[in-house]
């Protein structure tokens, strides 16, 4: 269980779970500037540098950061390379999911806990597409205001649904114009690890109730890293941050819920009216040339997530 979470906690882009959105955007920004990037997010760096969510996340934009860490701790440097590569692969996978959904004629999109996701702005959506983004009010406001202030406009009809997913978000989604009678493409990326097991089940139940036949859902599952290993790496990263002059940041692992009773997402969906398949993130990283051989826990399959896609029957 998480020690930093409560049933009614809230956050903005500088606190708690909100800071993880900045971390992910930083990884997308780094990938975008690679010679042959898997994804291109022209807005990620802007969203990171304006967030003021901590020196460490901004430091991730430094192309020499890994080399600096490598001089202090080679295994920690491998973890950073893995994290950057993982985020690029994850983004690529779900970008492809949305493109395939659009090619199949789906024009209603819902991004759950959207954070600093910029797909409503950077993907080439077909005419008539509506993208609903659900997240905490302050997170949505930061993103839309920052991008608007820099002249960035959405490439689809973007609609904010400013509500916590623990509240009655289906009603708020309908109030924003969502039509449950037409097929929808749903995304739960970077979300499930921040939910208890029963909340994960409830989320997918609610999605099912709102999904017409032909709807699609994609999700990143919650990996399960051993507590002792996580604490060991946390302490090593703390020491590195101190030596390099980065301010201490919140322990992302402490924001997550680790629950041995959590259902396997693909199995749950297959048992509840969906046809689901799962792709291990490690295999996808290898396929796309982003796997880091030196990464710790490489032989522990539970320490890595799956990417699940499903279609409503």
Q: Residue 208 forms beta bridges with which residues?
A: none
Residue whose tokens read 């689901």? 276
- Looking up residue 296, the CATH number of its domain turns out to be 3.40.50.150
- Given the DSSP bridges, would you call strands 274-280 and 216-220 parallel, antiparallel or unpaired? unpaired
In a domain, 181, yes or no: yes
Across the chain, which has 313 residues, the per-10-residue mean pLDDT values are 48 59 88 95 92 60 78 83 92 98 98 97 98 95 96 98 95 98 98 91 98 98 72 71 66 63 95 98 96 81 90 98
In a domain, 2, yes or no: no
Predicted pLDDT at 1: 42
In a domain, 232, yes or no: yes
What pLDDT, in 10s, does the model give residues 212-256? Answer: 999 999 999 988 765 666 676 677 777 777 777 666 555 555 566
Residue whose tokens read 């900045």? 22
- If one counts the domains in the chain, the total is 1
Which phi and psi angles does 134 have, rounded to 5°? -110, 125
Predicted pLDDT at 281: 96
Predicted pLDDT at 9: 52
In a domain, 11, yes or no: no
Nearest CA to 192 out of 117, 264, 89 is that of: 264
Q: Give how far Cα 302 sits from Cα of 67, 224, 299, Å.
A: 29, 5, 9
Predicted pLDDT at 59: 67
Geometric angle at alpha carbon 74, from 68 and 77, rounded to 5°: 60
In a domain, 10, yes or no: no
Geometric angle at alpha carbon 200, from 271 and 167, rounded to 5°: 125
Residue whose tokens read 């969510």? 53
| Cβ-count burial 29-60 (b if 16+ within 10 Å, e if not) | bbbbeeeeebbebebbbbbbbbbebbebbbbb
Predicted pLDDT at 5: 39
In a domain, 121, yes or no: yes
Secondary structure letter of residue 301 according to DSSP: G
Predicted pLDDT at 208: 98
For residue 88, the enclosing domain spans: 17-312
In a domain, 177, yes or no: yes
pTM: 0.90
In a domain, 9, yes or no: no
Q: Residue 60 forms beta bridges with which residues?
A: none
């Amino acid at each position: 269980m998480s020690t930093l979470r409560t049933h009614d906690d809230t956050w903005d882009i500088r606190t708690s779970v909100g800071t993880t959105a900045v971390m992910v955007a930083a990884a997308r920004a780094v990938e975008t500037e690679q010679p042959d990037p898997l994804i291109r997010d022209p807005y990620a760096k802007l969203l990171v540098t304006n967030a003021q969510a901590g020196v460490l996340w901004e430091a991730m934009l430094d192309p020499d950061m890994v080399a600096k860490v490598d001089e202090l701790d080679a295994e920690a440097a491998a973890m950073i390379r893995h994290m950057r590569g993982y985020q690029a692969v994850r983004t690529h996978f779900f970008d492809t999911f949305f493109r395939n959904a659009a090619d199949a004629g789906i024009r209603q999109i819902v991004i759950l806990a959207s954070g600093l996701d910029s797909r409503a702005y950077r993907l080439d959506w077909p005419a008539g597409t509506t993208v609903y983004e659900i997240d905490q009010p302050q997170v949505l406001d930061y993103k839309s205001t920052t991008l608007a202030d820099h002249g960035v406009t959405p490439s689809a009809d973007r609609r904010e649904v400013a509500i916590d997913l623990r509240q009655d978000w289906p009603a708020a989604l309908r109030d924003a114009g969502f039509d449950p009678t037409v097929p929808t493409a749903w995304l739960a990326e970077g979300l499930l690890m921040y939910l208890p097991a029963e909340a994960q089940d409830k989320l997918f139940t609610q999605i099912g109730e709102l999904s017409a036949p032909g709807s699609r859902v994609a999700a990143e599952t919650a990996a399960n890293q051993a507590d002792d290993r996580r604490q060991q790496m946390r302490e090593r990263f703390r020491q590195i941050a101190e030596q390099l002059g980065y301010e201490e940041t919140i322990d992302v692992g402490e924001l997550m819920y680790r629950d041995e009773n959590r259902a396997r997402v693909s199995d749950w969906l297959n048992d509840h009216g969906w046809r689901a398949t799962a792709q291990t993130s490690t295999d996808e990283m290898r396929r796309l040339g982003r796997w880091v051989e030196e990464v710790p826990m490489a032989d522990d399959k539970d320490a890595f997530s799956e990417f699940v896609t499903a279609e409503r029957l």
